[in-house]
C-alpha cells in the first residue's frame, strides 16, 4: 500500500521513527570560511567606504563650485565660536583695565596708612622717651636733697642701666649674623643660570640670636641691642612665621648685635664661648655670615619699659634691700619666657639634636 505524499507546494515535516516531529537543524557557517571571506573582502576593498564618499563629495563640490551644506555649517560654527571667544577676551581685558586703577588706589591708600601710623608711633615713642627723661631728672633732683636720697638715686641709676631702662654709651663689640647667600646654579635641563636660595640650615633663626645674646651676657656685656632694639630682662626674642621679632619689632638679616662692655675681656670671652665656636662651624658648613669686631663707641637708647604682672625673685628677698643686684640675679616673669636673661645661659646654647642645626 502506498502512503500518500504531501500536496504539491507543501513541504514535508521530518519525523522521528516514533512519529514525533523532528526539530529543524540550524547550520552554522564554518569559521574557516568566514576568515577567508573577511580576508578576501579586505584584499579587494583596501580603502574604507567613508574615504570614497568624502572624495566623491569633494569632486562634486569642485565641479559645481559650491561647498556642501555640511562644510558651510562647519565653517559657520567655527566663525561663531571664534567670535564668542574674542568677545569674552575683550570683555575680560576691559574689566581688568577698569579694575586696575581701583586696585592701585587701594594699595596706595594702605601704604599711606601704614606709613602714617608708623610716623605717629615713632613720634609717640620719642615723646615717651622725652617724658621719661624729664621724670628721671625731676626724681633725681628730689632725691638729691638728702644723703639717703642721693644713695637711692645712685642705686636706681645702676638698676636702670642693668635693666635697660636708661640710655647708655661706651666701648664694646659688634657681632654680625646673616643668612647664607643665594648661590648661582645652571639648570641641567635648560642650561640657563638660576639663583638657588639658601636652604633652612642657611637661615638665621630666633634661637641663633638668643644663643649669641646669652653668650654676650655671660662674657660680661653690660647692655645689648639687636638691630637697634635694646634688650632688657623682659625682652622676648621669638619667631612669628618666617619673621624674627625682638620686643615685638620685626628685624631682618643681617642681624647686628652690639654689646657694651670692656673689650679687653668681653671680646676674648665671647670668642671662646660655645656659641661662637659653633657659629664658626656653621660658616664653613652652611655658609652663614658670622663676624665679630671691636667697637670703640656704641650708643644705645633705653629699652621699652614693660609692666610685669607676676614676679618671682630668684634671690633671697631679705638680701635684696641691702645688697646691690647683679646681672646674674635678674627677676623672671611669666611675660618673658623667650627673653634672654643677663648672665643666665639658655638652652639655645645647646646644639639641636639630629641632623642640620
Counting residues of the chain whose pLDDT is more than 90, the rounded percentage is 25
Contact (Cβ atoms closer than 8 angstroms) between residue 339 and residue 236? yes
Q: Give the C-alpha separation, 315 to 33, whole Å.
A: 110
Q: Is the pLDDT of residue 356 over 70?
A: no
Phi, psi torsion values for 333, nearest 5 degrees: -120, 165
Q: Is the pLDDT of residue 177 over 60?
A: yes
What mean pLDDT do residues 158-165 have?
Answer: 78
Q: Which residue has the higher pLDDT, 14 or 267?
A: 267
pLDDT tier at 207, thresholds 50, 70, 90: very high
What mean pLDDT do residues 216-236 have?
Answer: 91
Average pLDDT, the chain: 77
CATH fold of 170-305+337-349:
Alpha-Beta Plaits (3.30.70)
Q: Which residue has the higher pLDDT, 201 or 68?
A: 201
The whole-number pLDDT of residue 330 equals: 37
Q: Which residue has the higher pLDDT, 210 or 164?
A: 210
Q: Is the pLDDT of residue 355 over 50?
A: no
Q: Give the C-alpha separation, 335 to 309, whole Å.
A: 8
What mean pLDDT do residues 64-68 have?
Answer: 59
Domain spans, the chain = 69-143, 170-305+337-349
Q: Give the C-alpha separation, 35 to 48, whole Å.
A: 19
pLDDT tier at 244, thresholds 50, 70, 90: very high
The whole-number pLDDT of residue 335 equals: 41
Across 13-22, 47-56, 155-164, 347-356, least confident range: 347-356
Q: Which residue has the higher pLDDT, 56 or 328?
A: 56
Cβ atoms within 10 A of the Cβ of 286, count? 17
Is the entire prediction scored with pTM above 0.85?
Answer: no
The whole-number pLDDT of residue 18 equals: 57
Amino acid at each position: 500500500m502506498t502512503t500518500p505524499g504531501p500536496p504539491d507546494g507543501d513541504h514535508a515535516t521530518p519525523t522521528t521513527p516514533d512519529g514525533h516531529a523532528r526539530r529543524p537543524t540550524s547550520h552554522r557557517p564554518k569559521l574557516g570560511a568566514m576568515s577567508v571571506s573577511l580576508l578576501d573582502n579586505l584584499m579587494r576593498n583596501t580603502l574604507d567606504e567613508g574615504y570614497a564618499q568624502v572624495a566623491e563629495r569633494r569632486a562634486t563640490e569642485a565641479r559645481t563650485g559650491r561647498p556642501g551644506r555640511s562644510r558651510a555649517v562647519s565653517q559657520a560654527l567655527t566663525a561663531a565660536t571664534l567670535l564668542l571667544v574674542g568677545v569674552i577676551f575683550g570683555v575680560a581685558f576691559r574689566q581688568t583695565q577698569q579694575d586696575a586703577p581701583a586696585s592701585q588706589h587701594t594699595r596706595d591708600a594702605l601704604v599711606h596708612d601704614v606709613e602714617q601710623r608708623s610716623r605717629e608711633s615713632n613720634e609717640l615713642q620719642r615723646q615717651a622717651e622725652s617724658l621719661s627723661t624729664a621724670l628721671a631728672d625731676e626724681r633725681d633732683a628730689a632725691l638729691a636733697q638728702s644723703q639717703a636720697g642721693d644713695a637711692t638715686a645712685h642705686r636706681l641709676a645702676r638698676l636702670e642701666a642693668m635693666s635697660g631702662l636708661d640710655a647708655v654709651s661706651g666701648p664694646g663689640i659688634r657681632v654680625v649674623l646673616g643668612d647664607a647667600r643665594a648661590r648661582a646654579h645652571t639648570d641641567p635641563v635648560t642650561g640657563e643660570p638660576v639663583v638657588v636660595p639658601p636652604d633652612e640650615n642657611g637661615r638665621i633663626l630666633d634661637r641663633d640670636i638668643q644663643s649669641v645674646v646669652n653668650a654676650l651676657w655671660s662674657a660680661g656685656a653690660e647692655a645689648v641691642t639687636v638691630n637697634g632694639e635694646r634688650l632688657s630682662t623682659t625682652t622676648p626674642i621669638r619667631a612669628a612665621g618666617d619673621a624674627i621679632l625682638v620686643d615685638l619689632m620685626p628685624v631682618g638679616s643681617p642681624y647686628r648685635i652690639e654689646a657694651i662692655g670692656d673689650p679687653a675681656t668681653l671680646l676674648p670671652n665671647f670668642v671662646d664661648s660655645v656659641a661662637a665656636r659653633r657659629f664658626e662651624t656653621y660658616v664653613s658648613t652652611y655658609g652663614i655670615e658670622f663676624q665679630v669686631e671691636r667697637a670703640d663707641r656704641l650708643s644705645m637708647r633705653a629699652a621699652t619699659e614693660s609692666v610685669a604682672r607676676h614676679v618671682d625673685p630668684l634671690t633671697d628677698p631679705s638680701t635684696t634691700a641691702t645688697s646691690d643686684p647683679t646681672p646674674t640675679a635678674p627677676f623672671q616673669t611669666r611675660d618673658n619666657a623667650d627673653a634672654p636673661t643677663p648672665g643666665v645661659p639658655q638652652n639655645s646654647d645647646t646644639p639641636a639634636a639630629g641632623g642640620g642645626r
